[in-house]
Amino acid sequence: MKPTSKKLLIIVLTAIAFMHVVMIGLGSFSAQLPMWLKPVAIDYTYPLFPQPWQTVTSHIPTSDAQLEFRSNAHGSWSEWQDASAAFDYNNNSVAERIEQGINEELRWQILNNLYVEGGRQQFDHIVESSSYSKALYYVLRLHRYYEKPMPDTLQLRMALRFTPEPENAYTFQRTFLEFPKYTLP
C-alpha cells in the first residue's frame, strides 16, 4: 500500500470514528437537542442502543399498589391476602408482573372513575371496567390452578401506599380501598 493511500485510509477511519462518537453523544442527549437535529441523532443511535425509557424524568410514582383478596367459602371469610403471594409467587415471578399490570390498570380506574355521591363512594364505573374483570379472573384462575376450593364470594381490595413528599420522606400513608363483594354464579 502506498504511503498516500495509507494516510488517506487513516484519515477516513478517524473521521468515521469521530462522527460515530459525536452521533452517540448526540443520541444520549437527544431530549436537549434542537428539533432539526433530534431525528438525525435518534435515527443513528436507535438501531444500536434502543432505549424506550428516560433516565431522568419528572414523573415519580405517587403510590405503590397491591391487589389483595379475601374469599368466603361456606360462610367463613378468609384473611386478606396478597393475590400472588397467597399462591407462593415471589416478587420476581411472571405472576407478580401480571399482577402489577392489573394493579396499574385498577389504579388508573380508581383515579379516573371513583366518585362520591350522597356521601358514599361509588364503584359502578370501576366494577364495570375490564380492569376489574381481569383482577377477578386472575384471582379465580389462581384458585383453580392450585386446586384450592372455589369460593362462594370473593372480595378484592387495593392496598395503596402513597409516596411521601421529599420533605416528609419517612412518613408513609397506607390506604385500603375495598371493592364490593362478588358472588360467584
Write the pLDDT tens digit of every residue in 47-106: 666 655 555 555 555 667 889 999 998 888 999 999 998 998 888 888 888 998 898 889
pLDDT band with cut points at 50, 70 and 90 for residue 182: very high
Q: Are residues 41 and 81 in the same domain?
A: no
pLDDT band with cut points at 50, 70 and 90 for residue 10: very high
pLDDT given for residue 52 in this prediction: 55
Cβ–Cβ under 8 Å, residues 154 and 182: yes
Q: Are residues 111 and 175 in the same domain?
A: yes
Q: Are residues 84 and 166 in the same domain?
A: yes
Q: Are residues 131 and 69 in the same domain?
A: yes
Does residue 58 sit within a domain? no
Q: What is the tally of structural domains in the chain?
A: 2
Q: C-alpha cell of 118? A: 350522597
Counting Cβ atoms within 10 Å, is residue 69 exposed (0-12), middle (13-18) or buried (19+)? buried
Specify the long-range contacts of residues 91-97, CB closer than 8 Å, at least 24 apart: 95/142
Output phi, psi for 148, to 5 deg: -85, 155
Please identify which residue in the block is written with the cell numbers 444500536: 48
Does residue 55 sit within a domain? no
Q: C-alpha cell of 110? A: 380508581
Identify the domain containing residue 169 by its residue range.
Answer: 63-183
Look at residue 165 and tell me whether its pLDDT is greater than 80: no
Between CA 176 and CA 161 the distance in angstroms is 9
Number of helices (H) and strands (E), helices first, in the chain?
5, 8
pLDDT band with cut points at 50, 70 and 90 for residue 170: low
Please identify which residue in the block is written with the cell numbers 389504579: 107
Q: Are residues 41 and 75 in the same domain?
A: no
Q: Are residues 125 and 167 in the same domain?
A: yes
Q: Are residues 81 and 151 in the same domain?
A: yes
Spell out where the chain has E strands.
63-73, 76-77, 81-82, 115-117, 120-122, 153-162, 173-178, 182-183
Q: Are residues 115 and 36 in the same domain?
A: no
Counting Cβ atoms within 10 Å, is residue 57 exposed (0-12), middle (13-18) or buried (19+)? exposed
Angle at alpha carbon of residue 52, lines to 46 and 53, rounded to 5°: 130
Which segment of 15-24, 25-34, 160-169, 173-182 scores lowest on mean pLDDT?
A: 160-169
